[in-house]
Structure 1
């Protein structure tokens, strides 16, 4: 399948959402492939569903540990040392939901796709997903030290990871 043409407004929409939630600027550009993941990365998968509730694909959000915690602190208005792991996960799941909505709106001309609930996953599961099928679309932050990647995979061939694989960052 040919790579989709990236809607020009998608990168700007993601940057605007990041600025609103994290309070810092971040620019996104399209990549041809997924950048490497790091062991401490926070990874979230958001199922994209057809009208019959079968999975059409998944949105993947990968954030570096620093960015994941910074986002949580910004969204909850807490100092980093008062941020609980559940707060970090909640903030990052919300970002995955927002970014996923932006990606689906940009790619789904038929407006028939729905979003499931974002779930934290392991870096190992992301590695398996990336090895199994390349993403249809990958965008990454390109401003300063940001480590934020958003990708869309069609027809995810892997089952969700077991809860034993998940850990809080």
Structure 2
């Protein structure tokens, strides 16, 4: 998690600024600006690999992101919101780390890390992940979420 912490923080921050969490996201470039508060953390971790080749592996991190905000600026006739609008939303972001220990025996050596998809519902995110990454010849197991990155309602 140490190697992923900063890229994850930057990616989530960019998505918040781009309004991925509200209806203006569909417009393209941000047409509203928000004063937001968020809580985030990992709710599930999955480790998967091909039965025929354990080196072909991945780890999926499902992040829960709770966002609430007040619209402080909106482009008329483009934004779905008006200044002063309040909104709260929960997103589940599925990040996948591919080919762990790619060129060495260190867990922080991996080939790729990226957001694969997101959903408003945890079960929907899990189903989509299992549909895309599971299947014949692929083993996917639950892993324990470390306390330091675990989502907390507090």
Whether TM-score is above 0.5 comes out as no
Greater share of residues in helix: 1
TM-score (norm 1): 0.30
Structure showing the higher strand proportion among its residues = 2
Structure having the higher Rg: 2
Higher relative contact order (CA 8 A, sep 6+): 1
TM-score (norm 2): 0.32
